Amino acid sequence: MTNQKGKDIKITEVSLRDGSHAVAHQFTEQQVRDVTRALDHAGMHYIEVSHGDGLGGSTLQYGRSLVDELKLIEAAVDEVENSKIAVLLLPGIGTIHELKEANNIGANLVRVATHSTEADVSAQHIHYARELGMEALGFLMMAHSVPVEKLVEQAKLMESYGAEAVYVTDSAGALLPDQVRERVKALKHNLNIEVGFHAHNNLSLAVANTLVAIEEGATRIDGSVRCLGAGAGNTQTEVLLSVMDRMGYDVGIDIYKMMDLAEDIVAPLIQGTQEITKGSLALGYAGVYSSFLLHAERAGKRFGIDPRDILIELGKMKVVGGQEDMILGVATKLAKNQGVKA
């Protein structure tokens, strides 16, 4: 008899999107092909491929991609037999033009991402994705930074636009388990669509928080092989799947194959190690968007100041994704205040 526990859970592997931050957006086409092929053979449900900041993110502000993301998406589509290819889109960075191009070459799903107070900017993109026949999901970033009631309000907006699920997105890796529980529970109670959860591991809570989200009914779950993602990475997919298996969840993904691809294919791609460094820990502690880490480290080196001071200041300012241009201004001010000559 087939184990029914976990049959409704859909896993999205984000190493080829969120992991783009960790490799400074330097993925090659062959690397994308190798990872995608192995994930498909393991039975992964969805594989997200795009610039770390989503479609259209290859810019001077966010970091230039080594290879055009549409070529990477096309390569991924070419390698899959059963998995579906997903993309991320942040309105204001990506447009419906890039979305249409991604769909034309085979992307099946889009997560439309906004700050957790700005769901209204997602309406056009969600509507258009549905018109294209894509799965369209909402992605509320920096979910730790707003009250639960506000998160519910914004999620209901995305639902009204046609989103088929809305994610509680812990962009900073700052949420504690009880905070995850109350947010997922509130969305489950107030929405008529699926609820998802996307974690970062900056406080070493990604797997634990994801399990809490699943317990509260989240069925759209993100993971990243070998923890390859911004900051200290995301929920480590092969670890999460192993724990879920121990708990009796059967999601139809081969754990041995996931372990093998993590060790043999993804690990060699990682520059340094995906561990909780003082920088990524500072992200979770300060509640700052995880993709800010590399930018803050570069600014700290340039201005001769501690990157953690930059991150703490950004946290006080409650910056959101897309405001990377503020990092240099903060670094300049701190250097002046500390009497450091750049």
Give the DSSP letter string of 280-301. Answer: HHHHHHHT--TTHHHHHHHHHH
What is the value of pTM for the model shown? Answer: 0.91
**Helix 29-42, helix 69-79: angle, nearest 10:** 30
Q: Which of 21, 51, 115, 200 is catalytic?
A: 21
Residue 269 per-residue DSSP state: G
Residue 144 falls in the annotated catalytic set: no
Per-residue pLDDT 10s for the chain (342 aa) are: 345 788 999 999 999 999 999 999 999 999 999 999 999 999 999 999 999 999 999 998 888 999 999 999 999 999 999 999 999 999 999 999 999 999 999 999 999 999 999 999 999 999 999 999 999 999 999 999 999 999 999 999 999 999 999 999 999 999 999 999 999 999 999 999 999 999 999 999 999 999 999 999 999 999 999 999 998 999 999 999 999 999 999 999 999 999 999 999 999 998 777 889 898 899 999 998 877 888 899 999 999 999 999 999 988 888 776 677 788 889 888 988 887 765
Residue 125: the pLDDT is 98
Residue 324: the pLDDT is 73
Residue 323 neighbours by CB under 8 Å, 6+ apart: none
Residue 315: the pLDDT is 87
Residue 1 per-residue DSSP state: -
Distance CA 337, CA 89 (A): 38
| Domains 10-269 and 291-337 are alike in CATH topology | no
Residue 152: the pLDDT is 98
Q: Is 49 helix (H, G, I), strand (E, B) or coil?
A: coil
CB contact at 8 A, 274 and 228: yes
The H-or-E segment that residue 207 falls in is helix 206-215
Domain residue limits, the chain: 10-269, 291-337
- b/e code 182-208 from CB counts within 10 Å (16+ = b): bbbbbbbebbebbbbbbbbbbbebbbb
Residue 342: the pLDDT is 53
Distance CA 179, CA 212 (A): 10
Write down the CATH number for the domain with range 10-269: 3.20.20.70
CATH 1.10.8.60, applies to 291-337: yes
Radius of gyration of the chain (CA): 19
Residue 184: the pLDDT is 98
Question: Closest Cα to residue 109, out of 141, 159, 73?
Answer: 73
Distance CA 113, CA 198 (A): 12
What the block records as the tokens of 283 is 């992200």
Beta strands, E only, the chain: 10-13, 46-48, 84-89, 109-115, 135-141, 165-169, 194-198, 220-223
Residue 301: the pLDDT is 92
Residue 189 neighbours by CB under 8 Å, 6+ apart: none
